[in-house]
Amino acid sequence: MSNESLVIRIGGEAGEGIVTIGETLVRIAAFSGLEVFTFRTYPAEIIGGQVMYQARIGREQVLSMGDDVDILVAANQLGHDEHIGELRPGGLLVYDSDAVTPAEGGDHLSYAVPFTQLAREINFLRGRNLIVVGFLTSLMGLPLDRAEQMVRRRLGKYKELLPSNLEALHKGYTHHQEHFAERPEFQIRPPEDGGEERLVMTGAQAIALGALAAGCRFYAGYPITPATDIMEFLSKELPRMGGTIIQAEDEIAAVTMAIGASFGGVKAMTATSGPGLALMIEALGLASMTEVPLVIVDAQRAGPSTGMPTKTSQGDLFLALYAGADEAPRFVLAPDSVEDSFYQMINAFNLAERFQMPVILLSDQAMATRVETIRPIDLSQIHQEKRRIPSLDRPEGNGYLRYALTEDGISPMAIPGMPGMTYTAEGLEHDESGAPSYVPEVHRAMTEKRFRKVETARKELHRWGLVNRWGDPQAEIAILSWGSTQSAVREAMERAAKEGILVEALFTKILLPMPDYEIRPFLEGKRAIIVPELNYQGMFAKVIEHRYSEQIIRNNIQVYRLNKYEGLPFKPGEIYAKIVEVAQRLTAGVLADRFLDEKLASV
Amino acid sequence: MVTTAERVAPLRVKDLKSGIKPIWCPGCGDYGILSSFFQAIINLKLDPAKVAVVSGIGCSGRFPAFARVYGFHGVHGRALPTATGLKVARPDLTVFAMSGDGDAFSIGGGHIAHAARRNVDITYIVMDNEIYGLTKGQPSATSPPDILELSLSGKTKGSRKGMVGLLDIHKVEEALNPILMALAYNASFVARAFSGRPKELTAIIEEGVRHKGFSFIQVMSPCVTFFNTYNHFRETVVPLPEDHDPSDRMRAMALAMEPNKTYVGIFYRDETRPSLEERLEEYRQQLSPTSMEELLARFTR
Ligand SMILES: Cc1ncc(C[n+]2csc(CCOP(=O)(O)OP(=O)(O)O)c2C)c(N)n1
Ligand code: SF4
């Protein structure tokens, strides 16, 4: 017997290689044909502090980070103390007997392993991490040859280090073989055939790769956790693709550099987190006003001000949707998985180019930093939208109108260098030619033109694949949400289905404009909707309640908010508990605490 | 990239006027800068379709709309990063950035160090009237501390008073020395001109464009409405000493610090430093090119 999935958590001091252990183990599993899904926390300290790396490893697609921990590896005392409570009954604690004194009792197994001592025996103290990896490889029944291969891959060109590293790996592996019995409940056997073709990457890498596949050739950014991983990846690859990357002096410079590059005809982006996005808002309005395509990625983190840079949140929704001086139309996208991050980046650039508008893509700390196995990417299926440019064969000086009022709102955009088409991209209100104008009728016509592009988009969006809908269409309970909560929701729904509770979910990857064409039919027949979100105010729930109020009131649909604001992602169990509660209320006829019409009346 | 037709007939100033009438007050120093800009483009035989002017906000920020070149009128203080993005993305263009003194030295002050450090090949013209013009007469970082007294003394003929309270309290602050600052930041081309001396101004703009790197040009450009300094500059503007060697940065700094003299000319130039775009291109050349297929393969198990 082998498990369908296992959750392993490693806790210890940062800088001790906890993350290395996790990342290596995850890649051994993934490259053996298993599916992975990771979650990690970062310490606030630069050096030291506690880190936690959790990996869920499965034979089938792993939907979320899971609830309880099957195997806890404690590299130091705090790593034990902080996480022992999450070890499931009957789980396994593996601890470094040179560093940890485990608590008495507990309904779990304990393996004391002298990892530090073993490292000393082979005269390679820094090999402790690989000893742990070797030990876990044997414990979990993973193939040793894959582990060796991964060590080789990680060392790359530093071949002289290979013998000592392999020795450490083997040391841990044989220690387990010789001192501990095989226990199937902690094993996860890779499929015989090596599994289906998969890519193994983080959300940040998916974003960066999506940008490159979309044709992005300019990036400017200012370092900020957790967005910096995107910039670091692109710094290596963008120049190799013929593009340019600049580390700007601040976020305002970063975004205006990207606008400058895009004005020049090159697809451009920046990535940041909430505090940086706040600084970019004036320039977002500029891109909207001058109608320059622009992509901004916001990897959300927790808390206002500097908050908790290494923790996750979905609290920038209002900032992305509404921030700015007066009215600046924009698009807001939100991928709901690592895999989707790749595809939504392509949509982001395509929307930006097609509609000559800024696009904000919302990711978050948990999704940007986690590793996931994703399905292969077929590059031949990727469409790159071309900017609408004026035709070159007009006679020179023949009154090119950059901001021509067109039916769909989109006006052909000349690229500097095109003869006879010079214009000024004007941040002041302007007429069709781009000349500044404060005439009331002009401001009215141009405001309508800029918003008309959103209406045009609304008509086209059903073709862009921007909604993820699954579950039972007959269900009376619905889950409506966005972003990275998708993983926990999916798993919670599978559990609910096993209990006979029918649920249907809809995740929208576009938040501005809202995909009414999907949400309206979805809401029909529903009696309760649960809106799980990682923020306090229930921002998305508010958007839903407001936009679909008529339908919600008419059909007497109860809206249940489920808000978590701890800096941590949802666990499937938390969503599941809410589903059960709502199901019980529906059968018992107990209604939601708060009704939308009451709420509206009390505003 | 984009192809351009060869121009046959020589350009005339009227070919470069956009047809939009400048909104500047009659007599504003900025007219002189616009004329010299046109003349420099003609003298340099630039193709207007390959010229881009990026500006910030202020009376000065209106500049691009008046010229038949590609223009970008951005947000307050961000002409430099916008122009930097454009130039590195499109090294084939001749890129200008234009700011007022408020735009350049206050809200956008943080960007000058970095443009200088990177040595991005743009010509940065600061249209310095030592006051905020567009917002009707508040002091700027280059306003003299006694700006209100000067205004009231009648020396700034014809000026309106601007915002008296703010101008008065400005006496508690000192003025910035932009040339000294640009030299300290090691801008590779540092010059000053006066919009009342168009020939020199044109020549300096031309030199700034020819210079492959970041050209910082402070142009004293009186605001006739709020701080009319024409007489002051006519009296104090003098060419840099003939024996000044523009590769001598220390001497340039000393000259920039001389009181009661407004030197005009090229304080400093260093032609040996490669520009940002050149360095980026060189960096790219040293790397092995890659493709999407190759990148994805790296992540495939
Ligand atoms: C973010 C922002 N803050 C303030 C303003 C208001 N504002 C417009 S122009 C200006 C100062 C203009 O002075 P200067 O840069 O010296 O240009 P001048 O008008 O003198 O040419 C200010 C404060 C603005 N447009 N944007
Ligand atoms: S207010 Fe001053 S700077 Fe502005 S246009 Fe008038 S004279 Fe020129």
CB contact under 8 A, A209 and B54: no
Mutate to test the pocket of ligand 1, among B30, B112, B135, B160 (most ligand atoms within 8 A of CB): B135
* Same-domain check for residues A445 and A528: no
Q: How far is A55 from chain B (nearest CA, A)?
A: 17
Q: How far is B77 from chain A (nearest CA, A)?
A: 10
Which domain CATH number covers A516?
Answer: 3.40.50.920
Query: What spacing in Å lies between the alpha carbon of B23 and ligand 1's midpoint?
Result: 15
- Please report the residues numbered 255 through 284 in chain B whose beta carbons come closer than 8 angstroms to any beta carbon of chain A: 280, 283-284
Picking from A417, A416, A413, the residue whose alpha carbon sits closest to that of residue A400 is A413
* Same-domain check for residues A484 and A349: no
The encoded tokens of residue A294 equal 């622009």
Domain boundary among A131, A161, A196: A196
The encoded tokens of residue A102 equal 């485990």
Give residue B8's pLDDT.
Answer: 58
CB contact under 8 A, A264 and B93: yes
Give residue A602's pLDDT.
Answer: 42
B107-123 mean pLDDT: 98
B81 touches chain A (CB under 8 A): yes
Q: Which of chain A's residues have a Cβ under 8 Å away from the Cβ of B289?
A: 240-242
Rounded distance, CA B267 to CA B181, Å?
A: 12
Q: How far is B49 from chain A (nearest CA, A)?
A: 5
Cα atoms in the Cβ-side hemisphere of radius 13 Å centred on B244? 21
Picking from B89, B73, B124, the residue whose alpha carbon sits closest to that of residue A435 is B73
Rounded distance, CA A36 to CA A195, Å?
A: 12
Give residue B1's pLDDT.
Answer: 40
Query: What spacing in Å lies between the alpha carbon of B99 and ligand 1's midpoint?
Result: 10
Rounded distance, CA A207 to CA A153, Å?
A: 24
Mean pLDDT of chain B: 95
Domain range for A500 is 468-590
CB contact under 8 A, B86 and A205: no
pLDDT at residue A595 greater than cutoff 70 = no
* Same-domain check for residues A370 and A276: yes
Q: Which atom of ligand 1 is nearest to the CA of B58?
A: 19
Picking from B224, B196, B230, the residue whose alpha carbon sits closest to that of residue B137 is B224
φ and ψ of A170, to 5 deg: -65, -35
Of A249, A256, A425, the CB nearest to B110: A249
* Same-domain check for residues A173 and A155: yes
The ligand minimizing its distance to the Cα of B28 is 2
Residue A70: pLDDT band (50, 70, 90) is: very high
Give residue B152's pLDDT.
Answer: 86
Identify the burial level of A566 via C-beta atoms within 10 angstroms of its C-beta, where 0-12 means exposed, 13-18 middle and 19 or more buried.
exposed
pLDDT at residue B257 greater than cutoff 80 = yes
φ and ψ of A523, to 5 deg: -70, -20
- Please report the residues numbered 1 through 30 in chain B whose beta carbons come closer than 8 angstroms to any beta carbon of chain A: 1-5, 18, 20
The tens digit of pLDDT for each residue in A143-189 reads 999 999 999 988 888 889 999 999 999 999 999 999 999 999 999 99
CB contact under 8 A, B85 and A212: no
CB contact under 8 A, A200 and B301: yes
Residue B124: pLDDT band (50, 70, 90) is: very high
Mutate to test the pocket of ligand 1, among B132, B140, B223 (most ligand atoms within 8 A of CB): B132
Q: What is the DSSP letter of B260?
A: T
pLDDT at residue B162 greater than cutoff 90 = no
Rounded distance, CA A118 to CA A137, Å?
A: 16
Q: Find, in chain A, the residue whose alpha carbon is nearest to that of B107.
A: A252
Q: How far is B154 from chain A (nearest CA, A)?
A: 35
Per DSSP, the three-state class of A56 is strand
A601, A344 in Cβ contact below 8 A?
no
Q: How far is B167 from chain A (nearest CA, A)?
A: 28
pLDDT at residue B301 greater than cutoff 70 = yes
The type of residue at A104 is E
* Same-domain check for residues A414 and A455: yes
Which residue's C-alpha comes closest to atom 5 of ligand 2?
A: B24
CB contact under 8 A, A422 and B90: no
* Same-domain check for residues A250 and A204: yes
Q: Has residue A565 been placed in a domain?
A: yes
Best A422, A423, A437, A438 residue to mutate vs chain B (most B CBs within 10 Å): A422
A91-100 mean pLDDT: 95
The tens digit of pLDDT for each residue in A415-460 reads 999 999 999 999 999 999 999 999 999 999 999 999 999 999 999 9
Q: Find, in chain A, the residue whose alpha carbon is nearest to that of B91.
A: A264
**CATH for the stretch B4-273:** 3.40.50.970
Q: Has residue A487 been placed in a domain?
A: yes
Rounded distance, CA A236 to CA A241, Å?
A: 10
The tens digit of pLDDT for each residue in A102-152 reads 988 889 999 999 999 999 999 999 999 999 999 999 999 999 999 999 999
Q: How far is A424 from chain B (nearest CA, A)?
A: 4
* Same-domain check for residues A208 and A105: no
Q: Has residue A585 been placed in a domain?
A: yes
Domain-by-domain residue ranges, chain B?
Answer: 4-273
* Same-domain check for residues A18 and A152: yes
The tens digit of pLDDT for each residue in B167-190 reads 999 999 999 999 999 999 999 999
CB contact under 8 A, A286 and B75: yes
Query: What spacing in Å lies between the alpha carbon of B60 and ligand 1's midpoint?
Result: 9
* Same-domain check for residues A457 and A479: no
Residue A394: pLDDT band (50, 70, 90) is: low
The type of residue at A588 is A
Mutate to test the pocket of ligand 2, among B31, B59, B127, B195 (most ligand atoms within 8 A of CB): B59
Per DSSP, the three-state class of A112 is strand
CB-defined site of ligand 1, < 6 Å: B 57-60, 76, 100-103, 127, 129, 132-135, 140
Best A32, A256, A296 residue to mutate vs chain B (most B CBs within 10 Å): A256
Alpha helical stretches, state H, B214-287: 230-236, 249-257, 276-286
* Same-domain check for residues A122 and A27: yes
Query: What spacing in Å lies between the alpha carbon of A429 and ligand 1's midpoint?
Result: 16
Per the document, the length of chain B is 301
Residue A252: pLDDT band (50, 70, 90) is: very high
Rounded distance, CA A528 to CA A486, Å?
A: 18
Integer Rg of chain B from CA = 20
CB contact under 8 A, B284 and A195: no
Instruction: Quote the percentage of chain B above a pLDDT of 90.
Output: 91
Cα atoms in the Cβ-side hemisphere of radius 13 Å centred on A269? 33
A58, A5 in Cβ contact below 8 A?
yes
A568-594 mean pLDDT: 87
How many domains, chain A?
4
* Same-domain check for residues A234 and A168: no
* Same-domain check for residues A215 and A343: yes
Q: Which atom of ligand 2 is nearest to the CA of B137?
A: 1
- The secondary element (H helix, E strand) that includes residue B52 is strand B51-55
